[in-house]
Amino acid sequence: MTEPLIECRGVNRSFDAGGQPFHALREVDLRIDRGELVAIVGASGSGKSTLLNIVGALDTPDTGEVRIAGESLATLSEPERAALRNQRIGFVFQQFNLLPRHDALANVALPLVYAGWPMARRRERAMALLEQFGLAAHVHKRPTQMSGGQQQRVAIARALALDPPLILADEPTGALDSRTSAEVMQILHRAHREQGRTVVIVTHDGGIAAGCERTVRFADGQIVADGRRAAA
């Protein structure tokens, strides 16, 4: 049996909404095995991004348990959670989240700085990734000097810098046109297919979800459907 990379058991998360509790997640049970390509879909406010933040150790559930590679996130100290985020999870966001005063090379190298890599090795790794994604001519450009598609490729390169087993992508094509979206999705599909990474994508785009092996649908903080694409 394939080993689970992500396990959520009875996960609940509520937020205060004008003095009233908003139940973002309700008793969520979810297992994602190593090497899966999963789309998480649902209307705005259905809980999908909240789940991604909890799985990525950016937030904590009110109750329930989350395990990554068998390790309970609840047992980790904040420095250990930070190390998990930096070294074992690659994040890709809709708004890219690049540092505006840094060029592409420095943005991609950032996780390597936190991991303590020496400067020469950081530069070599970041350059290799930027070249791989067709960005060799943009190495010294800042985010405002690049198109949205170029910024998202820089963000994906940064996410892959430390070769993490898990990629979490929250609406990675939400700010892009259809052609650029297709290019970004090709990169994420290659990361899954050729490098064996587990990739979890939150998306509103039915076409993106249809290209994934498995689709998990949320509504009102609960999983209402969980299906796999039929083999071709």
Report the pLDDT value the prediction gives residue 69, as an integer from 0 to 100: 92
Compute the distance between CA of residue 54 and CA of residue 127 in angstroms, rounded to an integer. 31
Instruction: Report the chain's mean pLDDT, rounded to a whole number.
Output: 93
Q: Each residue of 37-50: pLDDT tens digit?
A: 999 999 998 999 99
The residue written with tokens 């001519």 in the block is 137
Is the pLDDT at 231 greater than 70? The verdict is no
Is the pLDDT at 65 greater than 70? The verdict is yes
Report the pLDDT value the prediction gives residue 1, as an integer from 0 to 100: 55
Report the pLDDT value the prediction gives residue 229, as an integer from 0 to 100: 79
DSSP-assigned letter for residue 2? P
Exposed e or buried b per residue across 87-124, where buried means at least 16 C-beta atoms within 10 angstroms of its C-beta:
bbbbbbbbebebeeeebbbbbbbbbbeeeebeeeebbe
Domain architecture of the chain: domains with CATH: 4-228 (3.40.50.300)
3-state secondary structure of 109: helix
Is the pLDDT at 25 greater than 80? The verdict is yes
Report the pLDDT value the prediction gives residue 3, as an integer from 0 to 100: 77
Report the pLDDT value the prediction gives residue 230, as an integer from 0 to 100: 66
> Sheet harboring 89-93: ordered strands across?
89-93, 166-170, 198-202, 37-41, 214-219, 222-228
Tokens of 111: 């996780």
